Every structure is written in C-alpha cells, then in structure tokens.
Amino acid sequence: MDPALIIGPVDGTRVPRFAGAPTFARLPRVDEVSDFDVAILGAPFDGGVSFRPGARFGPAAVRQASRHLRPAYHPDHEVAPFRVLQAVDAGDVPCNPFDIDEALRQIADHASELVSDRRRLVTIGGDHTVALSALRAAARHHGPMAVVHFDAHLDTWDSYFGADRTHGTVFRRAAEEGLLLPDASTHVGIRGPLYDAQDLVDDARFGFSVVRAGDFDRLGVAEIVGRVRERAGDAPIYLSVDIDVLDPAAAPGTGTPEVGGFSSRELLALLRALPGEQIVAADVVEVSPPYDHAEITSLAAATVIYDVISSMARHQSA
C-alpha cells in the first residue's frame, strides 16, 4: 500500500495515551480506511474452556493495555510498522456465548471478510477454540498451512465431556479438516503433565514436532527457530500464541497456567526470529482479565501483537 495513504495510530505526543480511540494501539477502525494490509479482530468467546473462564473479556483488556505501547518505531525490528502497513481494528465478532459451533461459524465468517491473499489477520481471543475459525478463514485463501504454536499445552486432544471443539482440541480438528500441511507444524513451549503418554504419539500423527519449554535453556533461540523454519519450509505460516506459554509469573491472567514457562523476553526473542514474511495470519489467545493484575498479562499480549505486526512490516519493507 502507498505509504502516503496510510493512516497510523493517534500520536501519543499530541493526545495522551490514556485518551483517544479505544481501538488496538489507537489505530483507525476498519471503516475509516479505503484499504488495509492487516486487520486486528476481537473474538470474545470462552465457551470452549476446560478450567478457568474469563477470556471473553480478553479483546477489550488487550486493547486497553495496548495504550501502553509507543507504536511509532520498533527499535529491535528497525521499522516503523504503521508507516509501512495499513493496520486497522476490525472490532469484535458478536459471538454466541451458548453455542460453540455457531460462535465458530460467526468468527470464521467475519474473518473471511478480512483475510485475503494480500491482507493478513491477527485475532485477539477469546479462548483457543477461536483459532479454528481463523485457520478455516486463512486456509480458504492460502490452502493448508504450517502452524507455529506457542503454548504450554498441545491442544490436540480429542474431546472434553463429549465436546470435540474446545480450546484443547483445536489443532486435532484443524488437522482432520485438512487445514495443516503434513509434518510442517511445531509446538513451542510445551510443559507440564499429560493425561497419557499416548498424547504425544497422537500429536505427532497430526503433524507436529514438539519443543518443550525446558529445551530453551539447552537449545537457545537460533536452534529452536531453525527447527521451526526447517519444518515450515517456504509454506504460509499460521502463528498461534496462547499467552500461557509464558510463566504464570509473567502472565497470571489466563485460564490454565503452567509453571516453568518462558519469560516475556524469551518469547519476544523467539517471535522476532520467525520469518515474518511467511506469517499470513496469527492469533493471541487465552488472556483472562479476571485473573490478571496490573494489566501485566494483557500488556504481554498487546506487545506480542505489536511485535508480530512489526515483523510483518520489517519483511515487507526489506
């Protein structure tokens, strides 16, 4: 898009960050521009959680926390992302809170209107169930994708209490629906006990490789991202970040916290090394504000979103 036509966020040196539009990073709304490169969509649904609810309030909390950001220039990526990309806030999907499948259809329909071969989508959850909708929408334009999944949990289980579309089953369903490329996807940050050793066998069958949280100390950023890149090849990448990939000390406001996770610095280092030009869609999910304090989980999520968009911008401007 012509940089001269781009409408950026509100200038924080002219309008205090605690004032102004309630959009993500005070970006323009989707109806305020004629075209866009990246849309940020809220999916306030948590009907698929298996433990602590509250992620339906995630999009609003992440937008509020994004006021903390100074989004004009990203020194680590060496890019002014919102001068390179026209980013917009596409609002929230009015999700049915009582019907999982209906909510998934609603999210997929809204997402499909925003994503295209050129336009990219970042979804703010909501619980991890919403990723299935975003994957469906992205796959309509890009075909099967490689998933890079940051999470404490595999999310390839079969069902919970008879429900087969939940936050813990999303990537099994995605594999079954043909949304994933065979043997191209990677989980990063996995930790904690499992229901059974068979869980790992099943997970590999759905095309995933696992990098456990403890592997970071042994492998480091370059080796982990090298493995991710090798598996993904040059395929389009769907990036999914469950905020519980962070240690509860860094992100207490989530539904299923697991000790022993990444620090926020470690997560950002990994994200910044990913091939931003291949990321066609992304989500940041499982922020549950009722369990947060001082907005630290929401701020982590907002920062992740800003970093991902900055990575997209850096590679587009290169």
Could you read off the pLDDT of 208-243 as tens digits, one per residue?
Answer: 999 999 999 999 999 999 999 999 999 999 999 999
How far are the Cα atoms of 105, 146, 249 from residue 300, in angstroms, in the given order? 28, 24, 12
How far are the Cα atoms of 130, 138, 155, 242 from residue 106, in angstroms, in the given order? 10, 15, 22, 21
Whole-angstrom distance, CA of residue 51 vs CA of residue 166 = 11
What are the pLDDT digits (tens) for 149-182? 999 999 998 988 888 999 999 999 999 999 999 9
Q: Specify the CATH class of 3-317 in words.
A: alpha beta
Instruction: Return the domain boundaries, the chain.
Output: 3-317
- pLDDT given at position 318: 58
CA 311 to chain centre: 13
What are the pLDDT digits (tens) for 25-80? 999 999 999 999 999 999 999 999 999 999 999 999 999 999 999 999 999 999 99
- pLDDT given at position 161: 83
Using an 8 Å Cβ cutoff, are 41 and 25 in contact?
Answer: no
- pLDDT given at position 317: 60
